[in-house]
Amino acid sequence: MKRIIEQRLLEWKEDTKRKPLILRGVRQCGKTWALKDFGARHYENTVYISFDENPEYCDFFAGPKDPSRILSNLSLYTKQPIHPGKTLLIFDEIQDCPNALGSLKYFHENHQGHHVACAGSLLGISIAGGSSFPVGKVDFLPVSPMTFTEFLMALGEDGMLEYIGDIDRIEPIPEPFFNLLHDRLKLYFVTGGMPEAVAEWIDRTDPGKLEQVIRNIITSYSIDFIKHLTPTMSRRVSRAWESLPSQLSKENKKFQYKLVKNGANARDYEEAIDWLTNVNLVHRVKRCTAPGLPISAYEDESSFKLYAADVGILRSLASLDPSVFGEGHRLFTEFKGALSENYVLQALSAAYDTPMHYWTKLKPAYEVDFILQHRNEIIPIEVKAGTDNKGKSIAFYGKTYAEKTPLRVRFSTMNLHIKDDLLNIPLFLADMTPQLIELAMQHRPDIGTHYCPAE
Residue 223 has pLDDT above 90, yes or no: yes
Q: Percent of the chain scored above 70 by pLDDT? A: 93
pLDDT value for 450: 41
Mean pLDDT of 231-255: 95
Domains and CATH numbers, the chain: 5-142 (3.40.50.300), 149-447 (no CATH)
Look at residue 357 and tell me whether its pLDDT is greater than 80: yes
For residues 26-52, average pLDDT = 96
Measured in whole angstroms, how far is the alpha carbon of residue 197 from the centre of its chain? 16
Average pLDDT, the chain: 92
Question: Mind listing the pLDDT tens digit for each residue in 329-356?
Answer: 677 777 678 999 999 999 999 999 889 9
Q: What pLDDT does 449 receive? A: 38
Each residue's pLDDT tens digit, 372-431: 999 999 999 999 986 666 789 999 999 999 999 999 999 999 999 999 999 999 999 999
Instruction: Output the pLDDT for position 280.
Output: 94
Task: Give the model's confidence band at 23: pLDDT under 50 very low, under 70 low, under 90 confident, else very high.
Answer: very high
- Averaged pLDDT for residues 243-265: 93
Phi, psi of 454 (to 5 degrees): -65, 150
pLDDT at residue 326, rounded to an integer = 65
DSSP string, 111-144: -TTSEEEEE-TTHHHHHHH-SS--TTS-EEEE--
Specify the 3-state DSSP secondary structure of 188.
Answer: helix
pTM of the model: 0.92
pLDDT digits (tens, 9 = 90+) for 432-448: 999 999 999 987 655 54
pLDDT at 442: 87
Work out the angle at residue 179's Cα, subtended by the Cα atoms of residues 422 and 433, and round it to the nearest 5 degrees: 35
**Is residue 118 within 8 Å of residue 21, measured between CB atoms?**
yes
Mean pLDDT within 176-204 = 96
C-alpha distances in angstroms, 67 versus 55, 72, 106, 305? 19, 8, 7, 44
Distance CA 368, CA 332 (A): 18
Q: How confident is the model at residue 451 (pLDDT cuts 50, 70, 90)?
A: very low
**Rounded-to-integer distance, Cα 219 and Cα 231, Å:** 17
pLDDT at 271 over 50: yes
Confidence check: pLDDT of 246 > 60: yes
pLDDT of residue 390: 75
> Over 90: is that where the pLDDT of 134 sits?
no
Q: Is there a cis peptide before residue 294, judged by omega within 30 degrees of 0?
A: yes
Q: How far apart are the first and last CA of the chain?
A: 30
Judged against a pLDDT cut of 50, whether residue 452 lies above it is answered with: no
Contact 328, 363 (CB under 8 A): no
User: Is it the case that residue 126 has pLDDT exceeding 50?
Assistant: yes
